[in-house]
Structure 1
Amino acid sequence: MKILRGTIFGGIAFFFLGWVVYGMLLADFMAAHSDASLNRPDDQMVWWAMILSNLVLGLLVTLVLKWSGATSIIDGIKTGAIFGFLMGLTMDLMMYSMTTQYDLTVVFVDVIVYTILLAIIGLVIVLTWGKGK
């Protein structure tokens, strides 16, 4: 049950946090520092893929938390932040090395933002586990 709850609540939390952070708060910054010519217009978004990707990320973070033995809020935040930093740095450096979509400013900011987002997701997931086994 922990894995299912973590996957669902982690995926939902990441969807809404991503929408607020990337879709609203950082929208102008990202537009100024990246080449958005490959992005789909909002009305052509493939929603099933977006939803599935968020659930898969929720599952991935849930598994990392479970395998690390995370039980407390601090465990969730720390493990989520470390995982988020490493994953964000990997994805952003890969994108920077192979495309012209991002500049180095986006790489730096996105790694920080992704670290914070996954720390929050780690917190949400651990909170959904409750006190049971």
Structure 2
Amino acid sequence: MKILRGTLFGGITFFFLGWLVYGFLLAGFMEANSNACANRLDTEMVWWAMILSNLILGLLLTLILKWSGASGIGDGIKTGALVGLLMALTMDLMMYSMTTLYNLKVLVVDVIAYTLLLAIMGLVIVLTWGKKD
């Protein structure tokens, strides 16, 4: 049950926080500093893939937290932030090296945002575990 709860609540958390951060708070910044030539229009979003990707990320972070023996809020935040930082650096540096989708400012802002999102996601996952199974 712990893995199922973490996957579900972690995925939902990431979906809504991503929508808030990238869809509203950083939307203008990202638009001004990114090459959106490859982006789908909002009306053409493939929702099943978006939802599935968020749930898979929830599962990944839940498994990492479980395997690391995370038990408290601090563990969730620290582990989530570390995973977020490493994932964002990996993806963003790879994309920056091979594409013209965004500049260095976007890279830095995205790494910070993604790290914070996964820190919060880790917090939510640990909180939803409740009592030990």
Q: TM-score range by the shorter chain?
A: over 0.9
Matches within 5 A, 1:1-133: 1-133=1-133
The letter for the 1-side match of 2:115 is T
Cα distance between partner residues in 1 of 2:84 and 2:103:
20
Cα distance between partner residues in 1 of 2:131 and 2:112:
31
- Let me know the Cα RMSD of the aligned residues: 0.6
Cα distance between partner residues in 1 of 2:77 and 2:34:
29
Equivalent residue of 1:101, what SS?
A: coil
1:27-49 superposed Cα distances (whole Å, 9 cap, x missing partner): 00000111011100000000000
1:58-109 superposed Cα distances (whole Å, 9 cap, x missing partner): 0001011011110000000000001100001101001100100010001111
Count of aligned pairs between the two proteins: 133
Q: Which runs of 4+ in 1 moved over 6 A?
A: none
Cα distance between partner residues in 1 of 2:12 and 2:123:
13
Cα distance between partner residues in 1 of 2:30 and 2:117:
16
Cα distance between partner residues in 1 of 2:46 and 2:76:
31
Query: How far apart are 1:132 and its partner, in Å?
Result: 2.2
Q: TM-score, normalised by structure 1?
A: 0.98
Structure 2 unaligned spans of 5+: none
Cα distance between partner residues in 2 of 1:71 and 1:7:
16
Query: How far apart are 1:131 and its partner, in Å?
Result: 2.0
Equivalent residue of 2:9, what SS?
A: helix
The letter for the 2-side match of 1:102 is Y
